[in-house]
Amino acid sequence: MSGSVPAGAEAPKVRRNWLATAAVAASLSVPIAALSPAAQAATASGQQKTTPAATNVFKKKPKSHKAKAPKKKPPKPNYKARHRRPETFDQKAAALAKKLVGDPYAYGGTSPAGFDCSGLAQYVYRHTGKGKSIQRTAEDQFLEFRPISHGKARPGDLVFFHTGSDPSSYVYHVGVYEGGDMMVAATTWGEGVQSQNFSWAGDTVTFGTITH
């Protein structure tokens, strides 16, 4: 018939299409070992070209999250350390009086060879710092110094002993105040300069200063 295709003519075409499809499928699934040496080399080179790009992704190290220590600032070139305040005259006088403990007593004495009470006070003030000249006897020292309360007295001030509780009564003894109820004074024969508590005198003692 003029409009129909012979059965023998259709078969070669179908076979060609089937063979082409099979060849494509085989080329996709065939292992490299089954290829020819030239094909294996081409395939391996193609894989090598893609490998570095893929592996570089994993070679990137993650950023470190460790906190960086703050940088220490260099010291200022003109920095000077703070020092303690220099000792006052009173503090130095109290320290000097303590150093004289143990020296002998001598009536009218004004040196480490022998002190009486007012001679000790005069020596301490004369040899402290640049020196302060004060009167010779306990009574005259009391009249020279400004009266202050026990609470306002500082180590290095003088402690005066009166014949009575009246602060204007005669002064017969004097010592260098050391704080609290303590003083350093030249006492009597055989005892010399001592650190002693004056609380036994009760309200017959007063305090005086020329420094504050």
Per-residue pLDDT at 85 = 82
Question: In 10 A of CB 136, how many CB atoms?
Answer: 14
Strand ranges inside the chain, DSSP E:
110-111, 114-115, 146-148, 158-162, 171-179, 182-186, 193-197, 205-209
The residue ranking higher by pLDDT, 135 or 22, is 135
Superfamily (CATH H level) for 89-209: endopeptidase domain like (from Nostoc punctiforme) (3.90.1720.10)
pLDDT tens digit sequence for 165-184: 999 999 999 999 999 999 99
Domain ranges of the chain: 9-53, 89-209
Stated pTM of the model: 0.62
Confidence check: pLDDT of 50 > 50: no
Give the pLDDT mean for 39-63: 50
